[in-house]
């Protein structure tokens, strides 16, 4: 069963929501965060990326950064920019980006269910990044970056959503990246109870994005003196989530750039690559075949289609990880040809979300900092579920979900404000 809990959300005044809402802390460079927050004293980046207000030489993991973020959050609440709801509620959050639309439930998901594997994961976490989130939660006494969860779509949930979204929203705005954000509140106890009971019929929730946030919430919960008491559970028994039906989500590829060709000349690399792939000029980069990829090398995009595709598919049968396009690239190219065996730690490789577009990959190579770029076929939601159900782990940076959930629209406090 899936346990969800309403909560006394801290939220922006509706007329200030567009100014407060900010992209997740980890999708912007510090320079991008500074530019986005410039001239906007209410930007939630001043909480999630508080180093933008500190001297340039400040270490992002310095205690001063966490304290500054906590101070800024307190000021936003004290000044009335953010306020805490009088009673627990559930939220509904819709995003539109071009022709894509996704609508999810804002609630607390259960840390107990995460610890027991009912909330299923598909990737490992990095200790440094996980500890960073722990320090943010503890110092800010809040969870402000929601975890993106999903579940197998249910007709009951569709009907519940339709009922909520047919009413007037709390607010609606279009951000600078042209994503439209609309939020509703559900305060009526019977409506809340209906959904809580319906969710008990859902066998599992899946993490789409936010593994470090989940792990950090679990660690903070374990640090509490008495995490099983009723008073503590009201604040630390759950973690902030937006929960979507599985077919609402849009997954883009998480692409790769590599610094050098592992002592190979471009011709040698192409010759070795051609043993396993048919290569042709790609006039529409960004649309590679399954198990293949588009590659930018020496000023040209080429499409790589695996030879013997049918044989390749039969080899992957029953192995949800090896069949991923990112796994094929790793096992056929990155490791044997370019000598990259550990993508988590090798400084010769970096990762670029598919939202950036093929032109950004080409620009990175053209500037001379990287030798080759790979645009991958995106991992599907069905593939993610298969990996999670098998209790397997994907290669690092296998999925890029877009649009991203905005920080600052719902905040779960670990204390009453």
Residue by residue, DSSP assigns 245-312 as EGGG--EE-EEEEES--TT--HHHHHHHHTTTEEEEE-SSTT-PPTT-EEEEETTEEEEEEESSHHHH
Judged by phi (left if over 0) then psi (alpha if -120 to 50, else beta), residue 391 lies in: left
The boundaries of every CATH 3.30.1760 domain in the chain are 251-399
pLDDT score at 233: 44
| Strand blocks (E) in 85-124 | 90-97, 100-110, 119-120
pLDDT tens per residue, range 247-264: 999 999 999 999 999 999
The pLDDT value given to residue 313: 61
103 within 8 A of 161, measured Cβ to Cβ: yes
Write down the architecture of domain 251-399 according to CATH. Answer: 2-Layer Sandwich (3.30)
How many CB atoms are closer than 10 A to CB 367? 8
Instruction: Using DSSP bridges, classify how beta strands 147-151 and 238-245 pair: parallel, antiparallel or unpaired.
Output: parallel
Give pLDDT tens digits for 103-143: 999 999 999 999 999 999 999 988 999 999 999 999 999 99
Q: Quick check: helix, strand or coil at residue 166?
A: coil
Distance CA 300, CA 329 (A): 19
User: What number is the average pLDDT over the span 184-213?
Assistant: 95
Yes or no: say if 65 and 48 are a contact pair by the CB < 8 Å rule: no
pLDDT value, residue 232: 43
Residue with tokens 């790589």: 304
| 255 backbone dihedrals φ, ψ, rounded to 5° | -90, 170
Q: For 307, which DSSP code?
A: S
pLDDT at 415 over 90: no
pLDDT-based confidence at residue 308 (cuts at 50, 70, 90): confident
* Per-residue model confidence (pLDDT) at position 146: 97
Comparing CA positions, the residue from 153, 29, 180, 176 lying closest to residue 98 is 180
As a whole number of angstroms, the distance between CA 111 and CA 350 comes to: 32
pLDDT level of residue 318 (50, 70, 90 thresholds): confident
- pLDDT average, residue stretch 306-315: 69
Whether 224 has a pLDDT exceeding 80, the answer reads: no
The Cα 293–Cα 285 span in angstroms is 9
Provide the percentage of residues in the chain whose pLDDT is more than 90: 87
The per-residue pLDDT for 230 is 42
Nearest Cα neighbor of 103 from 205, 6, 243, 3 is: 243
- CA torsion sign, 270 to 273 to 279 to 283? negative
Polymer length of the chain: 417
Looking at residues 71-75, what average pLDDT do you find?
Answer: 98
Interval 365-382: pLDDT, tens: 999 999 999 999 999 999
Residue 412: Cβ within 10 Å count: 24
pLDDT of 227 strictly over 50: no
Q: What is the CA radius of gyration of the chain?
A: 22
The whole-chain average pLDDT of the chain stands at 93
Whether pLDDT at 176 is above 80: yes
The pTM assigned to this predicted structure is 0.91
């Amino acid at each position: 069963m899936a346990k969800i809990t309403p909560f006394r959300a801290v939220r922006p005044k509706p007329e200030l929501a567009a100014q407060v809402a900010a992209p997740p802390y980890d999708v912007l460079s510090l320079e991008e965060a500074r530019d986005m927050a410039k001239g906007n004293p209410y930007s939630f980046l001043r909480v999630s990326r508080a180093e933008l207000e500190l001297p340039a030489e400040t270490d992002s993991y310095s205690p001063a950064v966490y304290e500054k973020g906590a101070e800024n959050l307190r000021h936003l609440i004290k000044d009335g920019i953010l306020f805490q709801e009088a009673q627990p509620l559930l939220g509904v959050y819709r995003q539109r980006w071009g022709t894509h639309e996704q609508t999810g439930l804002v609630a607390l998901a259960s840390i107990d269910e995460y610890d027991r594997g009912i909330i299923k994961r598909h990737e490992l976490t990095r200790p440094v990044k996980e500890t960073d989130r722990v320090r943010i939660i503890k110092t800010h006494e809040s969870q402000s970056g929601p975890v993106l969860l999903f579940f197998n779509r249910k007709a009951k949930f569709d009907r519940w959503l339709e009922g909520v979204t047919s009413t007037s929203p709390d607010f609606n705005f279009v951000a600078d990246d042209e994503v439209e954000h609309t939020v509703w509140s559900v305060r009526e106890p019977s409506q809340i109870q209906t959904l809580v009971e319906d969710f008990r019929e859902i066998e599992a929730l899946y993490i789409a994005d936010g593994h470090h946030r989940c792990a950090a919430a679990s660690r903070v919960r374990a640090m509490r003196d008495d995490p099983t008491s009723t008073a503590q559970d009201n604040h630390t028994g759950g973690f902030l989530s937006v929960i979507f039906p599985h077919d609402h989500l849009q997954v883009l590829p998480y692409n790769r750039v590599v610094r050098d060709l592992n002592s190979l000349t471009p011709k040698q690399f192409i010759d070795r690559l051609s043993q396993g792939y048919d290569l042709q000029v790609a006039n529409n980069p960004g649309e590679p075949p399954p198990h293949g990829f588009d590659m930018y090398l020496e000023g040209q995009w080429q499409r790589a289609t695996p030879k013997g595709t049918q044989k390749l598919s039969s080899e992957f049968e029953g192995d949800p990880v090896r069949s991923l396009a990112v796994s094929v690239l790793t096992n056929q190219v990155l490791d044997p040809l370019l000598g990259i065996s550990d993508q988590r730690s090798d400084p010769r490789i970096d990762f670029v979300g598919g939202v950036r577009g093929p032109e950004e990959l080409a620009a990175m190579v053209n500037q001379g900092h990287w030798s080759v770029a790979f645009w991958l076929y995106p991992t599907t939601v069905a593939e993610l579920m298969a990996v999670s159900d098998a209790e397997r782990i994907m290669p690092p940076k296998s999925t890029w979900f877009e649009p991203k959930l905005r920080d600052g629209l719902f905040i779960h406090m670990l204390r009453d404000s």
